[in-house]
């Protein structure tokens, strides 16, 4: 990106943040299509163990799903979905996992975008943020994206910009955050393959729960 484009992007972000903090945003009282405690505990060979403790107050969400999935091969994936009715109030603004990972002791040696397949009658691909995480000898791969008001967004900055636009044009400020994490046990390629396959399996269900 050129210096001019960088300045333009920075100016847009500053303006957007200023709007978020200076004017009242208007949002309808949107609820999930279904309560997230009914989200499937099994996808094919993957069986999930749901976290029973109510963490809505800690996470600042209106509804959420958090579970560890595993299969007969011993492979594991952690899935988190957070839903926000009003994604602008203090303490309730969706944040990317980049802000939380270092505090848990993990380093992020690599950040990139990963294409994920969205199956259906007209298959398409979305982009998710990929974080490669390290803590000593341990490694993990994380995918996350913002799924808000019918959009799949891989940029925290664009998430904020669309929030302002949709508040004005659609009177909606609801939004969701989807995150998947898998430990690298044998090799990175294997982990990446089953993580992407799991994402493909849950995509249709996400549409049933997250308002478009």
| Predicted local confidence at residue 120, as pLDDT | 72
Of the two residues 7 and 163, the one the predictor is more confident about is: 163
Q: How far apart, in Å, are the Cα atoms of 196 and each of 100, 101, 126, 188, 193? A: 23, 21, 12, 12, 5
| Predicted local confidence at residue 146, as pLDDT | 94
- Give per-residue pLDDT as tens, 76-130: 999 999 999 875 554 445 656 666 676 678 899 999 999 998 877 667 889 999 9
| Predicted local confidence at residue 3, as pLDDT | 54
The DSSP string of 131-166 is EEEEETTEEEEEEEEEEETTEEE--HHHHHHHHHHH
To the nearest 10 degrees (0 to 180), the angle between helices 3-22 and 156-169 is 50
- Give per-residue pLDDT as tens, 136-174: 999 999 999 999 899 999 988 888 888 888 888 888 889
User: Taking residues 3-10, what's their average pLDDT?
Assistant: 51
- Cα angle 98, 128, 125; round to 5: 175
pLDDT at 26 over 80: no
Handedness of CA 180, 208, 114, 112 (dihedral sign): negative
Look up the pTM and report it: 0.83
Task: Let me know if 111 is exposed, middle or buried by CB neighbors in 10 A (0-12, 13-18, 19+).
Answer: exposed
pLDDT at 195 over 80: yes
Q: In the Cβ-directed half-sphere of 91, how many Cα atoms lie within 13 Å?
A: 7
Contacts of 124 (CB under 8 A, 6+ apart): 117, 118
Mean pLDDT for the chain?
Answer: 83
Sorted by where each begins, the domain ranges of the chain are 3-209
- Give per-residue pLDDT as tens, 34-77: 999 999 999 999 999 988 777 777 777 889 999 999 999 999 99
Question: What are the beta bridge partners of residue 73?
Answer: none
pLDDT at 187 over 60: yes
């Amino acid at each position: 990106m050129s210096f001019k484009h960088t300045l333009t992007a920075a100016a847009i972000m500053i303006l957007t943040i200023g709007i978020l903090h200076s004017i009242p945003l208007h949002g309808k009282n949107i609820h999930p299509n279904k309560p997230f405690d009914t989200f499937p505990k099994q996808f094919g060979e993957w069986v999930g163990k749901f976290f029973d403790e109510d963490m809505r107050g800690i996470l600042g969400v209106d509804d959420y799903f958090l579970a560890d999935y595993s299969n007969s091969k011993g492979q594991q994936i952690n899935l988190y979905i957070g839903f926000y009715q009003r994604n602008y109030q203090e303490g309730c603004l969706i944040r990317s996992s980049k802000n939380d990972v270092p505090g848990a002791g993990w380093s992020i040696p690599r950040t990139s975008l990963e294409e994920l397949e969205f199956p259906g009658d007209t298959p398409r691909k979305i982009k998710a943020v990929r974080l490669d995480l390290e803590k000593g000898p341990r490694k993990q791969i994380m995918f996350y994206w913002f799924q808000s008001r019918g959009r799949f967004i891989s940029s925290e900055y664009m998430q904020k910009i669309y929030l302002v636009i949709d508040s004005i044009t659609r009177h909606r400020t609801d939004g969701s955050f989807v995150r998947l994490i898998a430990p690298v046990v044998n090799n990175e390629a294997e982990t990446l393959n089953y993580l992407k396959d799991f994402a493909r399996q849950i995509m249709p269900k996400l549409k049933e729960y997250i308002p478009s």
